[in-house]
Amino acid sequence: MKSFAENKTLFQRNLWDRFMVGLLIVSTILVMVPLLIIIGYVIINGISALNWEFFTEELGSPARAMQGRPTGLVHTIIGTAVVDLLALIISAPVGLGAGILLSEYPDHKLNPFLRIINDTLNGMPAILKGLLAFALIVKPMGTFSGLSGGFALAFVMIPIIARSTESALMNIPWSIREAGLAIGLPRWRVVLSTVMPAAKTGLVTGFLISFARAAGEAAPLMFTSFGNNYLPNHWTGMIFGPVDTLPQRLYSLAISPYKEWHAMGWAAGIVLLVFVITLFVTARLLTRENKYN
């Protein structure tokens, strides 16, 4: 008996092909629809609260919003930038180091262990990372702080950076390393001066993606950076005192009983979305550039 495929005419094959492409398009749309719905819904609900004061005033008491006095989230936006940058500064060297070990020293006996640890850390619920930062930093320091929030987020970022660093370095052909070794460079010098510069865009993309991922986390910040209704009085307060961050403030605005605060929560959602989307688009542009080189 002849099989089904052999019986097909060219027309049938074409039809079959179009049908499959159609299915792919449908599933692509299905992936995009929820995202577009979310973005649209957040914008519709939050746009009314996005005014000049939103970017210039501090939050203060809910009485401000209820009595129509100026209130905003300037301290939250600045706080998010500070805590996220702290997290990046803490996690970048560690994540890079782990990624380099995994990629450049594939036979190192620490590697299998490191991989398991890294995957575990990546899959661990973010709230546990917050608890870890609470126990390691908040308790000994005696106060909630932007620094402890930075550490909590760094635990989120480290495994992502390690993974992306590993794959970015793996993409560099071995011939480049061999060229370096051939002119007598030590191994660390090869990695530092030839492999890493070549993989620069890949590395930065990894940083941006981990940054965007961490920027949306609320749970690890609950009991580390804790929240603040104002800007700290001294700039050191951003690092050594409680700090407000967008995802966490969004959560507390959302569960509050005031509808003015609900609108501000949606507006905070818009700001956070724009922030994260900008990061992802930048990452995307960087990787695209890499292809042409």
Partner 1 sequence: MKKVNLFKTLNLVFLSVVLLFFASCGGRGTTEETRAERRAERSERIDLLGAGASFPAPLVTAMADEYRQVTNNRVTINYQSIGSGGGIRQFSEQTIMFGMSEAFLSDDIMAEVESKTEGRAFNLPITLADVVITYNVPGTDKGVVFDGELIVDIYMERITSWNDPKIAALNPGKNLPSLPVTVVHRSDGSGTTNVFTSFLTRVSEEWRNKIGFGTSVNWPAGIGGNGNEGVAGAVMNTPGAIGYNSFSYALLNDMSYGFIVNSSGNIIEPSYPATTEAANIDLPEDTRILFTNTPAPDGYPIAGFAWMLVHENLDKNNAINSREEAAELVGFLVWAITEGQELSEELGYARLPEAAIERNFEMISQIKWRGENIGREVLKKNQLL
Residues binding partner 1 (CB under 8 A): 60-64, 74, 78, 81-82, 85, 138-139, 142-144, 200-201, 204, 226-235, 237-238, 241-242, 252, 257, 282, 285-286, 289
Question: Which tokens sit at 248?
Answer: 């966490």
174 versus 235: smaller Cβ distance to partner 1: 235
Of 86, 57, 79, which Cα lies nearest the Cα of 69?
57
Cα–Cα distance, 192 to 198 (Å, whole number): 10
Burial of 36 (C-beta count, 10 Å sphere; 0-12/13-18/19+): exposed
- Cβ at position 230, least distance to partner 1 in Å: 5
Q: Cβ of residue 83: shortest distance to partner 1, in angstroms? A: 12
Residue 50 or 243 having the CB closest to partner 1: 243
**Looking at beta carbons only, is 64 or 115 nearer to partner 1?**
64
Cα–Cα distance, 30 to 19 (Å, whole number)? 16
Return the amino acid letter for 170: M
The closest of 175, 251, 152, 163 to 207, measured between CA atoms, is 163
Say if residues 211 and 193 touch (Cβ distance below 8 Å).
no
| Minimum separation from the CB atom of position 97 to partner 1 (A) | 21
Pairwise CA distance, residues 134 & 18, whole Å? 56
- Helices 74-104 + 111-123 axis angle, to 10: 160
Nearer to partner 1, 114 or 204 (CB): 204
- Residue 45 or 252: which CB sits closer to partner 1? 252
CB of 74 to partner 1, least distance (A): 7
54 vs 226, beta carbon nearer partner 1 = 226
Q: In whole angstroms, how close is the CB of 145 to partner 1 at the nearest point? A: 10
CA 205 – CA 286 distance, rounded (Å): 7
For residues 42 and 86, which CB has a smaller minimum distance to partner 1 in the complex? 86
β-strand partners of 243? 226
Distance CA(56)–CA(71), nearest Å, equals 8
Closest contact distance (angstroms) between CB of 255 and partner 1 is: 8
In the complex with partner 1, the residue whose CB is nearer, 168 or 238, is 238
End-to-end Cα spacing for the chain = 53
Quote helix, strand, coil % in the chain, to nearest 5.
75, 0, 25
Residue 102 CB, nearest approach to partner 1 (Å): 25
How far is CA 88 from its chain centroid?
10
Report in angstroms how near the CB of residue 60 gets to partner 1 at its nearest: 5
Angle CA 227–37–265, to nearest 5: 20
